[in-house]
Amino acid sequence: MTNQFLCSFLAFFLYSGIISQPYTAAGADRVCGKWQMVGESLVIQVYRDGGEFKAKILWFDDEDDTKPTDYWKDVRNPDPHLRSRKILGLNVVEKLSYNPKTDSWEDGMIYDPKHGRHWNASAYINKDGLLKVKGYWHFKFIGKTLTFKRVN
């Protein structure tokens, strides 16, 4: 009788979410890889760096065929010391951490080199396998969501 009670007790807490099952690194790492923005000309590489997830620019369409892609610099950065950085290879998403309860990556920052601004960021992979990255200012309902498809 005691074992049956204990099993029922643990099942209740697991089902209610009070005790959460540990997530696997593979579940959190499925966001890693190359992603291309849908409807735009941007490819990013999402990767794990210690306990956080980051994304860097691998390729973008600069809409100016007269200059190579690696010519473009971070000229709108609010920090004058960073304005000479190349946009190609630039980390544009940092500090994302995986939340197994919501199956999403939260509490990150996204940098928009086009305007030189930082935003809060979160991300998730929807049922169609698309990566949805949301940049927002303190409240998620005030923001913009970017959609990416995985590329090989």
Domains of the chain: 24-151 (2.40.128.520)
| Amino acid (one-letter) located at 86 | K
Closest CA to 73 of 85, 81, 65: 85
CB atoms within 10 A of CB 132: 14
Q: Which residues pair with 125 in a beta bridge?
A: 131
The whole-angstrom separation of Cα 23 and Cα 39 is 33
Say if CB 131 and CB 123 are below 8 A apart: yes
What's the confidence (pLDDT) of residue 22?
Answer: 41
Is residue 23 scored above 90 in pLDDT? no
pLDDT digits (tens, 9 = 90+) for 46-92: 999 999 999 999 999 877 667 777 789 999 999 999 999 999 999 99
The whole-angstrom separation of Cα 121 and Cα 7 is 39
Quick one: pLDDT band at residue 26, thresholds 50, 70, 90?
low
